[in-house]
Amino acid sequence: MEKREDGGWTESAQNWIDHIELGDTLREDILDEPFLNCIKSRSPQNLLDLGCGEGRLIRMIAELGIHGTGLDPTEDLLRAARIRDPEGSYVNGFAEKLPFEDDSFEMVTSVITIPDIEDIDLAVSEVVRVLKPGGHFLAATLSPFVTCVPFPWKRDEQGNALYRSMDWYGWEHATKLEWRGISIVNFHRSMSRLMRPFLEQGLVLTQYEEPLPSLEKRREKPGLWEDVRVPLGMIMEWRKP
Ligand SMILES: C[S@@+](CC[C@H](N)C(=O)[O-])C[C@H]1O[C@@H](n2cnc3c(N)ncnc32)[C@H](O)[C@@H]1O
């Protein structure tokens, strides 16, 4: 696959903003609640959000009284974040080269940014460097069980979802994702490949969840069933000793 410096994010920025404004099921109906609960339970004094996009998480935690700094390499998304939150801190940069001092943050978060990061080993070593001892890295990401083949529902003639396919699971590889005018490159990694840099850096796994939408949400949006028949999103929290 053709390698693109920014993974397609600059060209996709406006469509991504529109997508978030329209509503993202995985975030709104499945990941947000448990993710915010984890942040609340730690009540960090400061927090860095990797790949903050248009600043959604930073605005949500501000409502909880938690100050966050958003980092993202896509200038158009940072501009949107600053417009939505003029008082907020938004910094241009890559997870692989964090522009912060050692031991700066009590918590580092990322919401579905890990699949966008090309060098995950370098990024995790940077996270460990900027975390204070005893600090936590809280990441929501796509389940490796679905990233190996993007959007693979096999459907019958009526459009009903039959099953999803899996291929090349054990091999780290790039995939192209295209939806709602967004066209980006993601990186698939198996579960063991994903866990390796955290374990090698000596981090301790303190939480692991594969959240499902509440019964209430499932009643409200029957279409959600399709999203949860296979593992879609996961949340993991690691502590720096
Ligand atoms: C799927 S979006 C998620 C945005 C935001 N976290 C959210 O949940 O709305 C992925 C984000 O990662 C950013 N990104 C891409 N490569 C990155 C890298 N190497 N380091 C940090 N962020 C990156 C993109 O610019 C984009 O904003």
Tell me the helix, strand and coil percentages in the chain, rounded to 5: 35, 30, 35
Ligand 1 atom 12: residue of nearest CA = 51
Report how far ligand 1's centroid is from the alpha carbon of 77 (Å): 9
Ligand 1 nearest atom to the CA of residue 27, by list position: 8
Q: Which pLDDT score, from 0 to 100, does residue 122 have? A: 97
Half-sphere exposure (Cβ direction) of 208: Cα atoms closer than 13 Å: 5
Q: Which pLDDT score, from 0 to 100, does residue 222 have? A: 75
Higher pLDDT, 208 or 3: 208
Q: Identify the burial level of 158 via C-beta atoms within 10 angstroms of its C-beta, where 0-12 means exposed, 13-18 middle and 19 or more buried.
A: exposed
* pLDDT above 80 (res 36): yes
Candidate of 72, 109, 112, 177 to mutate for ligand 1, largest count of ligand atoms within 8 Å of Cβ: 72
* pLDDT above 50 (res 1): no
pTM: 0.95
Average pLDDT over residues 2-6: 59
Question: Which of 131, 168, 125 minimizes the C-alpha distance to 146?
Answer: 168
The domain segmentation of the chain, as residue ranges, is: 9-143+190-239
Position 216 confidence tier, pLDDT thresholds 50, 70, 90: confident
Q: For residue range 69-94, what is the model confidence (pLDDT) as tens digits?
A: 999 999 999 999 999 999 999 999 99
Q: Which pLDDT score, from 0 to 100, does residue 2 have? A: 45
Ligand 1 nearest atom to the CA of residue 95, by list position: 20
Among 23-32, 106-115, 123-132, 135-144, the minimum mean pLDDT is found in 23-32
Ligand 1 atom 4: residue of nearest CA = 53
Higher pLDDT, 231 or 42: 42
What is the CATH code for 9-143+190-239? 3.40.50.150
Q: Residue 144 CA to chain centroid, in angstroms?
A: 13
The two most distant CA atoms of the chain are separated, in Å, by 56
Report how far ligand 1's centroid is from the alpha carbon of 74 (Å): 8
Ligand 1 atom 17: residue of nearest CA = 117
Ligand 1 atom 27: residue of nearest CA = 53
* pLDDT above 60 (res 129): yes
Report how far ligand 1's centroid is from the alpha carbon of 52 (Å): 6
Q: Which pLDDT score, from 0 to 100, does residue 152 have? A: 77
Q: For residue range 148-204, what is the model confidence (pLDDT) as tens digits?
A: 988 778 899 998 889 988 899 999 999 999 999 999 999 999 999 999 999 999 999
Ligand 1 atom 15: residue of nearest CA = 116
